[in-house]
Amino acid sequence: MVLQKSPERAVVWGYGPEGEQIFNSSRELNLTSQFPNVRVFMAGRNQSDQEMDDLAQVQQGWSVPTKASVEGFSALCWIFGRLMFANLKHPVGLVQSCWGGTIVETWSSSRALRQCGLDQDQVPRTRWENRNSALWNAMIHPFLKMTLKGAIWYQGESNTKVNLEAYNCSFPAMIADWRSSFHRAGETPLDFPFGFVQVATGMKDITGYRTGSLADIRWLQTAGTGYAPNPAMNKTFMAVAMDLLDDMSPFHPVHPRDKYTVAHRLWLGARAVAYDQKDVHFLGPYPRGITSDDHSLNITYDQVLTICCPEVKAPCNTTSPWIPAPVLGRSSAGVQVSTAACPSPRQVAAVRYAWTDEPCSYKACLVYSAVGDLPAPPFTISL
């Protein structure tokens, strides 16, 4: 099947691989008629052992947004697109290529996987869609001649059980390979913007899940820096979602229903990184320095912050080397925490923040930006 041409004069953004639909959001469905200059496209699900030039199946060709055409579309991608059109006032094309519950290896080419030593497939053959490069071959490669403005990505929790330790290599390698592949095949810029959602919460009842691996994958999503863009992932942007706990989500708590907040945080990043809007605040507070005294640590952040709900989570278990550090005080851009419970308060080896699977209840983590109310991302810093 030949891929249809993208809408004339539209900027096109790609999205994958999670795709919770918006069929249960009457508000979003009722807004569709207000965006006649947005177009949506959905690839059909397929996998292949060989790179394909055409999609085997199109679930929905380029369509004007209506309740019928959007109800099965990704809620996150749709909201991101309508926010974009409302801000920029030019035609927008949204391409969805999704298969939920998949790992980064299946969306990566063999070239990208070799860079990280992942040539040998680690996934049982019972999950065909998770074989190395299977979805890259069938659901990304057919799009290479399409000119993209950028891409947004919602994935990560499935890699808590497969090649977790390699994610800080495999994810940046996939991004770099997508960029070079789209650029070689068509007119997409070599450094097209790439946005992603840092994984949310709620994996504790999934078979095979290891406690603490959501905290690990969040860090690895940023190539071990804690923020984006960063030196290993240029022209990227990130939406933090760890503060959107939703135990009642019908999609499972790791996919919270509040897609508007996630999409809005992503869109702020796109405005700054993809559209070079200098006045847009899109990053939550991040430490720029830590000093210590006899019984406390002073963490200085890179921006003015607010403190919400200073509860202290207990260590994972009684043998954990990590000790809770209650908040003693704060300044406009800093937090003072107690080290009095440490055996040797002046010999603290490292400090970390929000390093649990579920660090807080809904929008109630400790540190937020004063401008935009953006959550500080988790971090771990050696002293």
134-150 pLDDT per residue, tens: 999 999 999 999 999 99
- Residue pLDDT, tens place only, 288-340: 999 988 889 999 999 999 998 765 555 444 567 888 899 999 999 999 999 98
The enclosing domain of 65 has a CATH number of 3.40.50.1110
Of 239, 273, 307, the one marking the end of a domain is 273
The pLDDT-based confidence of 254 (bands split at 50, 70, 90) is confident
CB-facing half-sphere around the CA of 109: CA atoms within 13 A? 18
**Angle 51-168-81 (CA atoms, 0-180°, nearest 5)?**
65
Q: Which residues form the domain of 324?
A: 287-382
**Same domain for 198 and 99:** yes
Task: Name which residue leads in pLDDT, 343 or 115.
Answer: 115
For 207, residues 6+ apart whose C-beta sits below 8 A from its C-beta are none
What distance separates the 2 farthest-apart alpha carbons in the chain? 69
Assess whether 333 and 267 both reside in one domain.
Answer: no
- Nearest-angstrom CA–CA distance, 279 and 290: 28
360 and 265 together in one domain: no
Bridge partners of 197? 239
For residue 278, being part of any structural domain is answered with: no
How far is Cα 110 from Cα 133, in angstroms, rounded to an integer?
A: 6
Would 145 be classed as within a structural domain?
yes
DSSP lists the bridge partners of residue 350 as: 382
Regarding whether 378 and 234 lie in a shared domain, the answer is: no
- Domain shared by 229 and 298, yes or no: no
What pLDDT band is residue 125 in, cutting at 50, 70 and 90? low
Looking at the fold, whether 155 and 195 belong to one and the same domain comes out as yes
Which residues are CB-contacts of 169 (< 8 A; sequence separation ≥ 6)?
115, 116
Instruction: Give the pLDDT of residue 95.
Output: 96
In a domain, 282, yes or no: no
- Beta carbons of 203 and 357 less than 8 angstroms apart: yes
- Total domain count for the chain? 2
Whether the CB-CB separation of 123 and 237 falls below 8 Å is answered with no
Q: Is the pLDDT of residue 80 over 60?
A: yes
Residue type, 193: P
Residue among 134, 155, 121 at smallest CA distance from 56: 134
More confident residue, 11 or 130: 130
pLDDT interval class at 126 (50, 70, 90): low
pLDDT at 316: 45
Mean pLDDT along residues 187-210: 82
User: Is 3 a member of any domain?
Assistant: no
pLDDT at 184: 97
Mean pLDDT within 272-281 = 96
Whether 124 and 210 map to the same domain: the answer is yes
Classify residue 88: in a domain, yes or no.
yes
